[in-house]
Amino acid sequence: MPNDALVSPTELTVSQGVAATLPDGRPVTRWTIGSPDGVRAEVLSLGARLQALHAPDRDGRRANVVLGCERVEDMLGEGAYLGATVGRYANRIAGGVLPLDGTTHRLTTQPTGHTLHGGTDGFATRLWDGVPVREGRRAGVRLRLHSPDGDQGFPGALTVEVTYLLHPDGRLWIGYRATTDAPTVVNLTNHAYFNLAGEGHGTVLDHLLRVESRGYLPVDAGLIPIGPAEPVLGTPFDLREARRIGDRVVDEDRQIRRAGAGFDHNWILDGTGFRRAAVLSHPASGRRVECLTIEPGLQVYTGNHFDGTLSGPSGRPYRAYAGVALETQHFPDSPNRPAYPSTVLRPGEEFRSMTVYCFSAG
């Protein structure tokens, strides 16, 4: 649990302002949630994204521990996924082929030939409507998006809500809800990249990562799962005890090479219900984030392909391993894998999911 260094007696405030303007003239809204001496989060209406999160270290010094783009052009381009809510289907669908109830739907695809994070114009580049909310001691923002029938090839009109709620003790809730008017598939996640040393401060190779999982999904050259889960035992994917990321991604394991000298894989989380998925820590600063979720899987991506093209608020370019994403979600390519947990949503049903990131220092 977060220690007393992060507990603020000050009531959380939510302020609102214009962060940027889209090329068509529409404003991008920023909500800032927090208190003067605790964790502070910034959420943008563009992509319903977590743009920044400022957390104290063991000495009380705050730093932004989430990667983000300052320029709108980057948020609509190379940096679209940084901190964003991705969907309608997070992760990959092989070949852009979606079979559902006897009909095959063709989705938009990226240059890889697969559909990634909802297609070429997914939720990360949409302007969401948002309102500030408060629940007890928690404060935040609720964002809403309507995705019409046929959006990126997906069937059914989908209404989506994402709620960010921050607690004074350093817990950030992210709750998801969705309904549809026709059968479709839904898989939503947040794509924040964490660097607990501070955004733009080197790599995450010195971070320790623990994942509560005994199995993971190996992938082919296109990063599509190749079958059932394999045990992590005896592989670089065994993170049941905290391990230094840099010691794992230098391994010559074939799966590590396929992902570009790092992780871009889905772990099958142990247990069911709301439970701990992972813990990321930075020994030098004492910062720590614990991830809890109700989702069955966790996609860990170590930012292997950052090449210096993007820069964040620090002005420093993001190079390989500048951050690590802990994406709670259902499994990649589930619509084509009947053995995987289903992601089908039907009329009259409600998709609900929740993930909590608990920030502490010590």
Catalytic residues: 191, 327
For the record, the structure tokens of 163 come out as 């709620």
| Tally of CA atoms within 13 A in the half-sphere of 199 that contains its CB | 24
Q: Which two tokens stand for residue 42?
A: 């910034």
- Could you tell me the CA-to-CA distances from 207 to 210, 286, 320, 334 in Å, in that order? 10, 10, 14, 31
Residues 6+ apart with CB under 8 A from 170: 2, 6, 7, 38, 39, 55, 358, 359, 360
Q: How many CB atoms lie within 10 A of CB 347?
A: 11
- The first and second tokens of residue 292, run together, are 């809890």
The span from the CA of 67 to the CA of 199, in Å, is 5
- Judged on CB neighbours under 10 Å (0-12, 13-18, 19+), 176 is buried
Q: Please, what sign has the CA dihedral across residues 86, 91, 92, 98?
A: negative
> Beta partners for 272?
none
Give buried/exposed letters for 35-57 (b at 16+ CB in 10 A, else e). Answer: bebbbbbbbbbbbbbbbbbbbbb
d(CA 290, CA 169): 13
DSSP state of 312: -
Q: Which residues contact 249 (CB under 8 A, 6 or more apart)?
A: 205, 236, 256, 261, 262, 263, 302, 304, 321
Q: Are 269 and 327 spatial neighbours (Cβ–Cβ below 8 Å)?
A: no
